[in-house]
């Protein structure tokens, strides 16, 4: 009888355990599905090798530009140039804070200004890959009170929406400039006041920060995470971009300050509360990780990357164009430069991707210096991308209103690569605040 009881008890408890284990397994599986829905698996590519003679040539040309064109113009910032993920030249000059005299180093995070748009755009494209939105969706599908018909997500990405710039209409419509405006404030002002559009949606290109402030809200609505949380989860953490973050007003004391061209501190204003169009802080090395990740097809499908780097503003002939979150110059010789510039307060930034050469040019500064954009001419050290003096016009990089353009005779100085581009011949500007790292022997 005792044996029969034991068998019954064993069967009973086994049955209960199987039910409990099955329930736990099901719950755990569902929970993992929820928690890992947006998780990105990523393995960083191994940097490639560069021919020794090519490396030496590249290094000296970049060093010449740095010493003879950036430093004499009061450059306070960082520069990094790489090929196949291998760093050729890296230098940090000046202070992250002129009061504390903290010198810049590889962990100093700069305000990226509009280079931030590359992350916002690619986050939207990630959500599209996941089937959580469609680029041709009308914005009213997500924000029913949005008062402009016919504006799609894709039009926000490629600046063809025709929406007015919040940098102008907020103050014009009575915003209290003593208060920081948020992304939601931008949306609510559009809904409440419906400021006039600049052109019919989809008819032409017009660079506008409102587009990317709205895209950041869209990321939050679709992902059910904050903009900062979503970028941290799908980009910053998997790529080990440990010095990169999304700025909030609460970060004001720790964030790197910026300075005007005379070295005077730039103060925050009511336009510093928005993100998506700006307000990501990062370093040259973290941006190199970002650049390299876009070669792997681990984060994105090949088709998605091709869509991002396709020119969409073809209504009039010209070299300059815009993709989905990326500027580009498309030359008659078939060459294409993928890049983005940034300018906010005293921060000037430049990220260039030369996909054909697997080369990367990154220049970040926290003291106003228009010469940073001249680094675009470094593209020609890898191969002839352009032959004419195709400079960035200041209108193309100016980020918002309320920016006073300084008058400095040095601003118009230009670097020219030509017949003597292999010639070094200019004196070395030594500066005790400068840290230059090279990789001549392949070691760091």
- d(CA 216, CA 210) in angstroms, rounded, equals 10
CB 112 within 8 A of CB 281: yes
Q: Is 287 helix (H, G, I), strand (E, B) or coil?
A: helix
- d(CA 319, CA 288) in angstroms, rounded, equals 26
Q: Where are the beta strands (DSSP E) in 295-399?
A: 320-322, 327-330, 336-344, 347-354, 359-365
Could you read off the pLDDT of 326-384 as tens digits, one per residue?
999 999 988 999 999 999 999 999 999 999 999 999 999 999 999 999 999 999 999 99
Buried b (16+ CB within 10 A) or exposed e, 394-403: eeebebbeeb
Residue 36 lies in a domain: no
Q: Is 245 helix (H, G, I), strand (E, B) or coil?
A: strand
> Within 10 Å of residue 407's Cβ, how many Cβ atoms?
7
Could you read off the pLDDT of 227-249 as tens digits, one per residue?
999 999 999 999 999 999 999 99
Residue 443 lies in a domain: no
- d(CA 386, CA 318) in angstroms, rounded, equals 13
Residue 410 lies in a domain: no
What is the chain's alpha carbon radius of gyration, rounded to the nearest angstrom?
Answer: 25
> Within 10 Å of residue 233's Cβ, how many Cβ atoms?
16
* Mean pLDDT for the stretch of residues 76-86: 98
The band of 267, judged by pLDDT with boundaries at 50, 70 and 90, is very high
CATH at 285: 3.40.710.10
Domain count, the chain: 1
Residue 397 lies in a domain: no
Q: What is the pLDDT of residue 40?
A: 77
Q: What is the pLDDT of residue 422?
A: 32
- d(CA 230, CA 64) in angstroms, rounded, equals 40
Residue 249 lies in a domain: yes
> E strand or H helix at 397, and its extent?
helix 394-397
CB 193 within 8 A of CB 145: no
Residue 444 lies in a domain: no
Contacts for 210 with CB less than 8 Å, ≥ 6 apart: 161, 163, 164, 165, 166, 186, 190, 277
Residue 190 lies in a domain: yes
The band of 388, judged by pLDDT with boundaries at 50, 70 and 90, is low
- d(CA 216, CA 28) in angstroms, rounded, equals 31
CB 139 within 8 A of CB 292: no
Residue 44 lies in a domain: no
**Nearest 5°: CA angle at 106, between 443 and 369?**
120
Tokens of 375: 């680094």
Scanning 224-301, the segments in alpha helix (DSSP H) are: 227-231, 284-293
- d(CA 247, CA 111) in angstroms, rounded, equals 9
Could you read off the pLDDT of 49-68 as tens digits, one per residue?
999 999 999 999 999 999 99
| Strand duo 110-111 + 280-282: pairing | antiparallel
* Mean pLDDT for the stretch of residues 171-185: 97
| Domain around 284 | 52-98+108-386+424-438
- d(CA 281, CA 115) in angstroms, rounded, equals 10
C-alpha distances (whole Å) from 221 to each of 124, 182, 191, 217, 225 are: 11, 15, 17, 6, 7
């Amino acid at each position: 009888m005792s044996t029969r009881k034991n068998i019954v008890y064993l069967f009973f408890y086994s049955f209960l355990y199987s039910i409990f284990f099955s329930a736990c397994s099901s719950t755990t599986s569902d929970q993992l599905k929820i928690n890992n829905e947006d998780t990105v698996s990523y393995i960083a590519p191994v940097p490639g090798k560069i021919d020794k003679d090519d490396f030496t040539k590249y290094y000296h040309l970049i060093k010449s530009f740095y010493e003879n064109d950036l430093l004499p113009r009061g450059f306070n910032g960082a520069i990094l140039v790489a090929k196949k993920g291998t760093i050729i030249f890296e230098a940090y000059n000046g202070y992250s804070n002129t009061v504390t005299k903290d010198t810049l180093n590889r962990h100093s995070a700069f305000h990226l200004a509009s280079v931030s748009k590359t992350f916002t755009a690619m986050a939207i494209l990630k959500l599209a890959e996941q089937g959580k939105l469609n680029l041709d969706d009308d914005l009213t599908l997500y924000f029913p009170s949005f008062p402009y018909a016919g504006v799609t997500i894709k039009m926000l990405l490629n600046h063809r929406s025709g929406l007015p710039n919040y940098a102008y209409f907020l103050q014009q419509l009575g915003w209290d400039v003593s208060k920081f405006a948020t992304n939601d404030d931008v949306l609510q002002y559009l809904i409440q006041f419906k400021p006039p559009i600049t052109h019919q949606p989809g008819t032409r290109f017009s660079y506008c920060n409102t587009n990317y402030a709205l895209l950041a809200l869209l990321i939050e609505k679709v992902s059910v995470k904050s903009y900062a949380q979503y970028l941290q989860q799908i980009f910053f953490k998997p790529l080990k971009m440990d010095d990169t973050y999304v700025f909030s007003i609460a970060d004001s004391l720790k964030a790197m300050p910026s300075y005007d061209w005379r070295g005077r501190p730039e103060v925050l204003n009511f336009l510093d509360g928005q993100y998506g169009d700006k307000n990501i802080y990062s370093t040259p090395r973290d941006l190199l990780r970002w650049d390299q990740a876009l070669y792997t097809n681990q984060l994105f499908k090949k088709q998605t990357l091709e869509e991002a780097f396709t020119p969409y503003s073809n209504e009039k002939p010209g070299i300059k164009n815009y993709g989905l979150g990326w500027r580009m110059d498309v030359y008659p010789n078939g060459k294409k430069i993928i890049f983005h510039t940034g300018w906010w307060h005293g921060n000037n930034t430049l990220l260039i991707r030369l996909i054909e050469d697997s080369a990367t040019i990154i220049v970040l500064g926290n003291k106003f210096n228009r010469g940073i954009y001249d680094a675009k001419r470094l593209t020609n050290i890898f191969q002839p991308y352009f032959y004419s003096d195709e400079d960035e016009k200041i209108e193309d990089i100016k980020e918002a209103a309320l920016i006073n353009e300084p008058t400095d005779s040095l601003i118009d100085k230009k670097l020219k690569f030509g017949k003597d581009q292999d010639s070094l011949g200019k004196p070395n500007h030594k500066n005790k605040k400068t840290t230059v790292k090279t990789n001549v022997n392949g070691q760091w």
